[in-house]
Each structure stands twice: as structure tokens, then as C-alpha cells.
Amino acid sequence: MFKSTEKSVIVEQAVEWLLLIKQGKLTEFEKNQFEQWLSQSHLHQKIWQQTIVLEQKFKQLPAEIALPVIQQQPSKTHNGHWLLLLGSFSALWFAYLLNEQQQWTADYRNGKGAAKTVLLPDGGSILLHANSAIDVQYTSQQRKIILRKGEIWIETRPDAAHRPFVVSTQYGQAQALGTQYSVKIEQKEAYVAVEKGAVKVQPQNSTQYKVVHVGEQIRFNQQKIGAVEALDITQLAWTKGLMMVDDMPLSQFIERLKPFHRAFIYLERDVEQLKISGTYPTDNMSQLYEMLEQNYQIQVNQYAANRMVSISAKK
């Protein structure tokens, strides 16, 4: 059993490793040291995974919070700056854990990796995207799904009691009118895409609503609804275990890949803007990396039991 002080030490070590890795390429000696550190215990591996997730969250912080920290670049010759960044990152790490504990209380949740199917009491089903969480609340009056985090794809079934089927988010709700549809929570809004039937979308703080039909999508926040658009089918490729992209910068491609991959991915700057196109499997990372190497002038190296990935220009 690990004491809280021991966990704190491992957290600090994980943050130090992350900051070191983000400075640039590790030497072979440093790679070996990292692998030895990671293999010490399951807790080391778990905290490392959580630190990777936090690093992604850190990028999404508002500028007024993130910039004062980011501007303190880590340097081996400026210990004060290094300690400031380490302290700030450690504080964010613990704040992240507190937030994650709220997600752990959800009825159903899914971490990194493949999508997860949830069967509903009425025979319908929900596909949970990676890093997603929901509550299922069925009463005599309605069938309600609370989307706490991430994205879901829903296939509804007719209800003998004619109870409405509603997906509720912090931005509003999406009521099914006999359908297959997807609901996603983003940073400042929610997204609904309809594959079959129709969905009634209404913001949290508005009486306004719109009905979205098959082959359409829409975005909305707590106050208003955006324009109805043609469905971008690539956004739903994850439901088939795929990721479809067209002329997308490699840096953006990697960001979209991260929810499916339990690894820290380091991307060399000289390949960040390389344009990627095609359809890639999100449930087989080795195959995905092979496809990238075959089609583009890049080299993918995996180490530390595939928990670390570096992508650089092919020599």
C-alpha cells in the first residue's frame, strides 16, 4: 500500500520526466533511466498515464492561467524557473485528480483506448468514446442520459410507455425523435450529429430549439444554437474504430489520436506541419504507425513498453 507522501514523490518525479522529455530528445542513458523508473510499480505507470492526460489538459487552460507558467521555460541552468514550472505543474496535477474523482462517480465511464458499449434498460445502446462519462436515469416519466464528459453515440429503441429520450449536457439537451445520433461536449459548446431520424436540440438557458434531421449536425452553447450544417461523416468514424482525415497537419492528427493511445507522443518540430490524409485504425496503434511510415517520410520509435513514442523525419 502506498502512502500519500510516496504518491507525492512519484507525482513530482513524473512531472520532472515529462518536462525533461518536452525539452527535446532523451539520450539513451536517460531513456534507460526512464524505463527503469516506470517499471518500479503499477502506481508509477498509473501516475505517468495521468500525467500525460494532464499535459493535454494543460494545453487547454485559459491564456491568463497558462501563459505565466508556460513563459517560465524549464532550463537546467535556471533552477528557479525549473522549480516554478514544476510547482505549477504539480499543483495542476492535483487539481486534475480532484476533477477526475468527480468523473469516477459516473454510472459509466471510459478511459483512453477503444470505445465501450453500454446497453440501456429499454434495449437501446450507447457507445462511449474514449475519455467519456455518463449517468443513466430512467424514471416513469422519461429516459435521461447525462453526458458528463466526452462524446457518445446513441441508438434508441421505441418505448412502450412513450417516455421521451433525452441526452442532457451542461450546455442544453438533445431529445431523440426515433433516431441514431451522437452528442459531444467540447470546451465551450456541445455538438450533435444525426445519422438516422431526428433530434430536438435546446440550449440550457433558452426556449429556442431546432430540429436536426438525418445527415445534419449542429453546435450549441447554453444561450444559443448555431446553424444546421451538413453532417461531416469523418467526425463519426470513431464509432467504427477509425479516424478519417484529409490534408491535416501531423500535429493536429496526433492531438486527435491521443484519446485512443495510452502513451506520451513526442513530435519533432520539423514534421509538425506535414499534411496527413487517409483512414487509420484507432484500435491498432502499431498498424497505424506502420501506415504513417509507409506513406510519409517520417520515423516512429516506441520504447518504455510502448508508453513513449517519438515521431521524427526519416533519416
The predicted structure's pLDDT at residue 35:
84
Would you list the domain boundaries of the chain? 4-104, 108-234, 241-313
The predicted structure's pLDDT at residue 20:
77
The predicted structure's pLDDT at residue 89:
55
Alpha carbon distances (Å) from 65 to 12, 60, 88: 21, 10, 10
pLDDT per position as a tens digit, 108-121: 988 888 899 999 99
The predicted structure's pLDDT at residue 104:
61
The predicted structure's pLDDT at residue 102:
52
Q: Residue 137 forms beta bridges with which residues?
A: 144
Low-confidence ranges of the chain (pLDDT < 70): 1-5, 23-25, 53-104
CATH code matching the domain that covers 108-234, chosen among 2.60.120.1440, 3.50.30.30, 2.40.30.10, 3.30.565.10: 2.60.120.1440
Alpha carbon distances (Å) from 292 to 187, 213, 250, 298: 29, 36, 10, 7
pTM confidence score: 0.70
DSSP one-letter code for 62: -
The predicted structure's pLDDT at residue 69:
41
The predicted structure's pLDDT at residue 2:
45
Report d(CA 208, CA 225) in Å as an integer: 8
> What fold does the segment set 241-313 form as a domain?
Phage tail protein beta-alpha-beta fold (3.55.50)
pLDDT per position as a tens digit, 55-82: 665 554 444 434 444 344 444 444 444 4
User: What's the maximum distance between 2 C-alpha atoms anywhere in the chain?
Assistant: 70
